[in-house]
Amino acid sequence: MSNKTGAIFLDRDGVINENSEDHIKSWDEFQFIPHAISTIRELTETGLPIFVVTNQGAVNRGIMTVDDLNDIHTRMLEAITEGGGKITKVYYCPHTSDEKCNCRKPEPGMLLQAAQEYNIDLSKSFMVGDAWTDMAAGREAGTHNILLLTGRGRWNVAPSWDRLGVDLSAACDVADAAFIIQERLSGRPVITTDRLKSAFHMGLRLQDAWVF
């Protein structure tokens, strides 16, 4: 009988914090997406370990240092902990796409490393991201994948479907993704949410579709 547990894997930029074309190079540039901290608290209450898996090629491009990145993550984790959530570990890939590593998404290396280190059953796990590369890494690792429309998500729906087919869920934001995760853990395999359907149907901005 397996003692392995599922897990929740979160991309960082565009999922936990607002994305930036110029990269997030310091804590001053880091801004949590609305409801991200409270949602991570809700996800913590599922009992599944939560990991952040993030491409940070700006390190090897010389745009920021590892110390800069570690400072951002230390402060991010402090804020999440203060909000009642828990991130088990942050995994990051410092490489550029030219380096052809096995950890930069769409490669699944960070997920596989977490699975090995923490005895994770990836088939019982979730990958939440805003880019086709997140979805590809999750599919290769064997997780259930949820594409968000925050960050780069709105521009990654078509690329995700084109590269991976429709074998993924879609959600407005990480709070919406939490609903999908909670439903699937309860045995109800939903693939999208009423908020997302409403946003598309009414042509509203994502924040206008928020249901309190």
The catalytic residue positions are: 11, 13
Of 165, 164, 52, 170, the C-alpha closest to 111 is: 52
**Total number of residues shown for the chain:** 212
Burial class (CB in 10 A: 0-12, 13-18, 19+), 11: buried
**Biggest alpha carbon distance in the chain?**
48
Q: Give Cβ neighbours of residue 60 (< 8 Å, ≥ 6 apart).
A: 94, 95, 96, 99
Q: What are phi and psi of 10, to 5 degrees?
A: -115, 125
